[in-house]
Structure 1
Amino acid sequence: MNALGPSLAPYIRSSRTLKKYVAPIAHWYADLMGYRKMGLKYDDLQVEENPEALGRLTPRETYDRAYRFKVASDCDLHHHPLPKEQWTKPEDDKRYLLPHIANVLKEEEERATWDTMTVQRK
């Protein structure tokens, strides 16, 4: 089990047959969500419950994230998605925030372990 909870993704990726059937459904669902039509990436949809993970982004990633939010807000204001050539392409929709979130959760778990440790004399 990883820091974010159980996942079937590694099992599906390891099976060629499952991957063949699940991947098209996953791509269809991601397109159906519509966030790419607004220029957003999947990790832009993550709730900002952990500002420490956002603080670990590089200045360029932080700027790009803020810019995508501004573009999406403008699209929402005008009730129109971006032109098709400006949509986020599936190959560009990489998980940029997930490693930072996983590291923060791992550090919090380690901190809790150290904070609750009891020392015993021999």
Structure 2
Amino acid sequence: MARVLVVDDEPDVRELVAMWLRADGHEVVVAECAATALSAVERDGMADVAVVDVDLPGVDGVELAAELRRRTAGLPVVFLTVLWSGADVARLREHGHYLRKPCSPAALRQVVGELTGATR
């Protein structure tokens, strides 16, 4: 299975997403913001895929994805967002896959599985 970085500033969402992914056998590293995500990558190495909230404090999820990709080109990123406007969706499509919050466990598992080749 894959190593997944989950970044969300909402503890309940972060832990729920991590639980869903762990249930599929993925190794999950969690972080509440860009700074802790980057620290985790420095300490433990890069993930195979990142699941990132867009609306993070400080550095937003798109900026975090760009920084992660500076370190590992082509890193797959799945954005989780409550931002549903046409402009927001277009911006996210340029930078990765996106799922609208709230998303289902099945939708998240499907996209992570497709990106990592770890389908159930």
TM over 0.5, shorter chain: no
More strand by percentage: 2
State the structure with bigger RCO (CA 8 A, min sep 6), 1 or 2.
1
Tell me the TM-score normalised to structure 1 length. Answer: 0.26
Higher helix share: 1
**Of the two, which has the highest radius of gyration?**
1
